Every structure is written in structure tokens, then in C-alpha cells.
């Protein structure tokens, strides 16, 4: 029976992970749970799964007497250290997920990674540590899980390009000249997926896809020139891989994160899941369109970030978190989000990074710089 620690257990990925684990009580045992602030939800999960090692980074309400809950910024890392898991599912949102990912691979656990910032911020450190410790990183994001599945049994040298699909967000067909009037409510209305607020806005700007391009470089050992994006409004084809002979493999399914999570947990095997099948008994239209980078410059910003891969992706992510928060608070316009990110990257281009600890300082400086650019 595999021992599993779930980080970000009260969020979207965490809840989906626990749903999968409920389907497989004979295969997996939950040994650790970590969340951000939702004390009541975390303790409820701990009771249901019989977990004694739990953590909260910033409890929103006091921990009841008699409950042994690790608290503080390092709570997730401590949960990994104390629980000794075989698999760590990292569903933490944002830069806070990097150090727990690093702790997971340092412990030799398999890292089922949904926290894209771990690779965006510190891909060089995380991939090196994983290789040195013999720890495997298996992607949980639907796009990267699709690529991972398409590459099984294939010679990596035969890969010509990786094609990440994007729904295009709610503004795919909206004229660029109207972007200044986009409201937070409109940006949070994703046409396909149900996600957190930041990632939903990032999907509207395509910043999320830019971050995924960077993540794919580290996951699959390719350069940015081998990563392309195709807009696919139906969100059925989760990504594709084109090989040197021009054949293309794709992974298709209805949009449901539990499929990618289950694959990461059970790899290299596949297990039956009680999920809806692809409806091939009726007409199914699949569209693929090139992204309009004039309307969505985040993709070109991501390519520029990989010119200094140990520095600029970290800055890009931190500045985006600040800019998205400012947009949702009504401080800047929708079309100003990427501009704040670009200006922050310009100002911190020469920052030196040599250790994971340097990334913490860079992330802090990037946030301060981005905040100073706001009105």
C-alpha cells in the first residue's frame, strides 16, 4: 500500500486527490495533510482518513485544544518530513509550493506535481535534486500529464515539438481594443474549467499557458523552441507531441483533473475510474487555432523569461501574482497585468541566483518591485 501526503488538501487539486483516494482505499493510505488556512476542513479530512500528521501555514481559526497540527510557513515541508510518504501530491497554489516540492524530492518520494510554480521558479534546482536523489516528478496539470502519457515508450530524441493546448479563455474572440474594460467578474468566468481565482485570470490572459511552457521545458528536457501552443476551445485534447516523422500523439478525455491525478498516483499502471467517458456516440467537434499573441503577449513574455531561466521565470511568476491581485482589487486594468510583469522582469534582469534560498529573496524583491509599479 502506497503512503500519500497531500499538500494543499483543502483546495481544488487536494479535494480531487482525496476523491480519487476514496476510490482506492486498498491501494493508498493518506499519511499527511497540509493546507493553507482552513482549519475546520483540514481537521475534517484528517478524521475521515485517519491522519495524525497535519499542517496549516496560516490558520484562519484557532486549532482546537488536543489537536496536534503543525503551523507556520514551513508546515507543509514538516508534514512531508514527518509522514515519510511514498508519494507527495503538491496542490499548493503559488510560490509557496516550491520548498515543499524540494523537500519531497529530497526525501526520495515521488512528486505528483500540480504546483507549476515549483518548476517555473526553481526548475534547475528541483530537477537536479530529483535526479540526484532518484526521485521521480510526475506532472498532474492536465496538459503536462497528457504530454507525459504521450511520451511513454517513446525515444525522447525523436520528439520534434510539444504542443500544449489552451481553451483560449473567455476573451478568445473579444476585440483587443475592449480589453481595458474587462471586469474581474468577466475574467473569472472560465468557459471550461473550475479553478482558483488567480489561475482563472491567468487563463484569461494566457499567462497560465506561458508558465506551462516554462514548466514543460524542465519536465521534458526540451528548449523553448520545441514548445508551441494551440488554442483548443473544447478542452478535450489536453496536449499533443509531434515526432520527427511528423506523426502526432494526443491524449483526449473530458476535462476532469481526477484522471491526471489518478494516473500520477498509479503510474506506470492504469486503474479503472468511475468517471464519464468521452462521448464518441455522438458528433464531436475538435478545433485547433493559433493563439493571437498580439492580444495575449504573455506567451512571448514566457519565451523571454527563459533567456535567464534561473532568474526571470521566478520574477515573472511573482509579478503576475501581484498584478492579478491588483486587477481583482480594481487597482489596475486587465490589459495592464502583463505590462506590470514585463516591467518587473526588466528591472530585475541582472539579479544573481545561486541557491534555492536566493530564489526566496528574488521572489520577495519581485513582489516589492511589482507593487511599486502599481498606482
The DSSP result for 17-63, as a single string, is HHHHHHH-TTTEEEEEEEESS-HHHHHHHHHHHT--EEEESS-SSPP
- What is the model's pLDDT at position 197? 86
Contact between residue 62 and residue 36 where contact means Cβ atoms under 8 Å apart = no
Contact between residue 29 and residue 5 where contact means Cβ atoms under 8 Å apart = no
φ/ψ of 368, rounded to 5, equals: -65, -40
The angle subtended at Cα 191 by Cα 186 and Cα 192, nearest 5°, is 145
Q: Which residues have C-beta within 8 Å of that of residue 259, sequence separation ≥ 6?
A: 142, 145, 253, 273, 275
Contact between residue 87 and residue 109 where contact means Cβ atoms under 8 Å apart = yes
Contact between residue 6 and residue 55 where contact means Cβ atoms under 8 Å apart = no
The DSSP result for 289-324, as a single string, is B---TTT-THHHHHHHHTTSTTTHHHHHHHHHHHHH
- Would you call 228 exposed, middle or buried from its count of C-beta atoms within 10 A (0-12, 13-18, 19+)? middle
Rg of the chain over CA atoms, in angstroms?
Answer: 20
Q: Which whole-number Å values give the CA distances from 43 to 78, 97, 135, 358, in the listed order? A: 17, 21, 30, 34
Contact between residue 79 and residue 5 where contact means Cβ atoms under 8 Å apart = yes
The DSSP result for 60-98, as a single string, is SSPPPTT--EEESTTHHHHHHHHH--SEEEE---SGGGH
Contact between residue 94 and residue 198 where contact means Cβ atoms under 8 Å apart = yes
Sketch out the chain's domains with CATH numbers: 2-139 (3.40.50.720), 153-254+284-306 (no CATH), 308-375 (1.10.1740.10)
- What is the model's pLDDT at position 254? 94
94: phi > 0 → left, psi -120 to 50 → alpha, else beta; which? left
Closest of 107, 51, 49, 50 to residue 78, by C-alpha: 107
CA dist., res. 259 & res. 256, Å (int): 6
Question: 110-113 and 137-139 as β-strands: parallel, antiparallel, unpaired?
Answer: parallel
Per-residue pLDDT tens digits of the chain, which is 375 residues long: 999 999 999 999 999 999 999 999 999 999 999 999 999 999 999 999 999 999 999 999 999 988 999 999 999 999 999 999 999 999 998 889 999 999 999 999 999 999 999 999 999 999 999 999 999 999 999 999 999 999 999 999 999 999 999 999 899 999 999 999 999 999 998 766 666 788 899 999 999 999 999 999 999 999 999 999 999 999 999 999 999 999 999 999 999 999 999 999 999 999 999 899 999 989 999 999 999 999 999 999 999 999 999 999 999 999 999 999 999 999 999 999 999 999 999 999 999 999 988 999 999 999 999 999 999
**How many residues make up the chain in this entry?**
375
Report pTM. Answer: 0.92
| Segment holding 343, helix H or strand E | helix 337-347
Contact between residue 314 and residue 359 where contact means Cβ atoms under 8 Å apart = yes
Instruction: Find the helix packing angle between 207-220 and 298-305, rounded to 10°.
Output: 30
- What is the model's pLDDT at position 196? 75
- Would you call 177 exposed, middle or buried from its count of C-beta atoms within 10 A (0-12, 13-18, 19+)? exposed
Q: Which whole-number Å values give the CA distances from 48 to 21, 33, 205, 321, in the listed order? A: 12, 12, 39, 33
Amino acid at each position: 500500500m502506497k503512503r500519500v501526503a497531500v499538500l494543499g488538501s483543502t483546495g481544488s487539486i487536494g479535494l480531487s486527490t482525496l476523491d480519487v483516494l476514496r476510490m482506492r482505499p486498498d491501494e493508498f493510505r493518506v499519511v499527511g495533510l497540509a493546507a493553507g488556512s482552513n482549519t475546520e476542513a483540514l481537521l475534517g479530512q484528517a478524521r475521515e482518513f485517519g491522519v495524525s500528521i497535519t499542517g496549516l501555514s496560516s490558520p484562519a481559526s484557532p486549532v482546537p485544544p488536543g489537536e496536534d497540527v503543525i503551523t507556520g510557513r514551513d508546515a507543509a515541508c514538516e508534514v512531508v518530513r514527518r509522514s515519510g510518504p511514498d508519494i507527495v501530491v503538491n496542490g499548493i497554489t503559488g510560490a509557496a509550493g516550491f520548498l515543499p516540492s524540494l523537500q519531497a524530492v529530497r526525501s526520495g518520494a515521488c512528486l505528483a506535481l500540480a504546483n507549476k510554480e515549483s518548476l517555473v521558479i526553481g526548475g534547475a534546482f528541483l530537477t537536479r535534486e530529483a535526479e540526484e536523489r532518484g526521485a521521480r516528478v510526475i506532472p498532474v496539470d492536465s496538459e503536462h500529464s497528457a504530454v507525459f502519457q504521450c511520451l511513454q515508450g517513446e525515444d525522447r530524441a525523436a520528439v520534434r515539438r510539444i504542443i500544449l493546448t489552451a481553451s483560449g479563455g473567455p476573451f478568445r474572440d473579444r476585440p483587443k481594443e475592449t480589453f481595458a474594460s474587462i471586469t474581474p467578474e468577466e475574467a473569472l468566468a472560465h468557459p471550461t474549467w473550475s479553478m482558483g481565482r488567480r489561475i482563472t485570470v491567468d487563463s484569461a490572459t494566457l499567462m497560465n499557458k506561458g508558465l506551462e511552457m516554462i514548466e514543460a521545458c524542465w519536465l521534458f528536457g526540451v528548449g523553448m523552441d520545441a514548445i508551441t501552443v494551440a488554442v483548443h476551445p473544447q478542452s478535450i485534447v489536453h496536449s499533443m507531441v509531434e515526432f520527427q516523422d511528423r506523426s502526432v500523439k494526443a491524449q483526449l478525455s473530458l476535462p476532469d483533473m481526477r484522471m491526471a491525478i489518478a494516473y500520477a498516483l498509479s503510474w506506470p499502471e492504469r486503474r479503472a475510474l468511475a468517471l464519464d467517458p468521452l462521448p464518441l456516440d455522438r458528433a464531436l467537434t475538435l478545433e485547433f487555432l493559433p493563439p493571437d499573441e498580439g492580444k495575449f503577449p504573455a506567451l512571448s513574455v514566457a519565451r523571454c523569461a527563459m533567456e535567464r531561466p534561473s532568474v526571470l521565470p521566478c520574477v515573472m511568476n511573482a509579478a503576475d501574482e501581484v498584478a492579478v491581485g491588483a486587477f481583482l482589487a480594481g487597482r489596475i486594468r486587465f490589459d495592464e497585468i502583463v505590462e506590470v510583469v514585463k516591467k518587473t522582469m526588466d528591472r530585475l534582469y541582472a539579479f544573481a541566483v545561486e541557491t534555492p534560498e536566493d530564489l526566496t529573496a528574488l521572489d520577495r524583491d519581485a513582489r516589492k518591485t511589482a507593487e511599486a509599479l502599481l498606482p
